[in-house]
Amino acid sequence: KTPTKMPKARPTTPAKKAKQRAAAEKSYVDPNTEEQTSDKWGWWYDDEDLLGAIRAGAGDELGLVWVKTKGTPWWPAQRFSIAKFDHKIPDGCFSQLRNVKRDDNLSDIVAYMYFGTGKSEPYKPEIILMKAKTVEERVVSWSEGWKQGYAQVRGDKGGKGRGKYSADIMVGVWDACNMIKDGERKPW
Residue 97 lies in a domain: yes
71-107: buried (b, 16+ CB within 10 Å) or exposed (e) per residue? Answer: eebbbbbbbbebeeeeebbeeeebeeeeebeeeeebe
- Domain holding 139: CATH number? 2.30.30
Pairing of strands 75-80, 64-67: antiparallel
Distance CA 26, CA 146 (A): 25
Residue 187 lies in a domain: no
Residue 124 lies in a domain: yes
Identify the pLDDT of residue 25. Answer: 40
Residue 172 lies in a domain: yes
Distance CA 105, CA 99 (A): 12
Residue 186 lies in a domain: no
Segment 9-45, tens digit of pLDDT: 555 555 544 444 333 343 444 444 445 455 566 788 8
Write out the residue range of the structural domain in which residue 128 sits: 43-181
Residue 27 lies in a domain: no
Q: Count of domains in the chain?
A: 1
Query: 64 forms bridges with which residues in the sheet?
Result: 78
Residue 103 lies in a domain: yes
Residues of the chain with pLDDT under 70: 1-41, 94-100, 118-125, 154-164, 185-188
- pTM (2 d.p.): 0.68
Q: What is the CA radius of gyration of the chain?
A: 24
Distance CA 18, CA 30 (A): 32
Query: What does the CA dihedral 155, 156, 160, 161 come to, rounded to 10 degrees?
Result: 130
Residue 36 lies in a domain: no
Identify the pLDDT of residue 59. Answer: 93
Identify the pLDDT of residue 12. Answer: 54
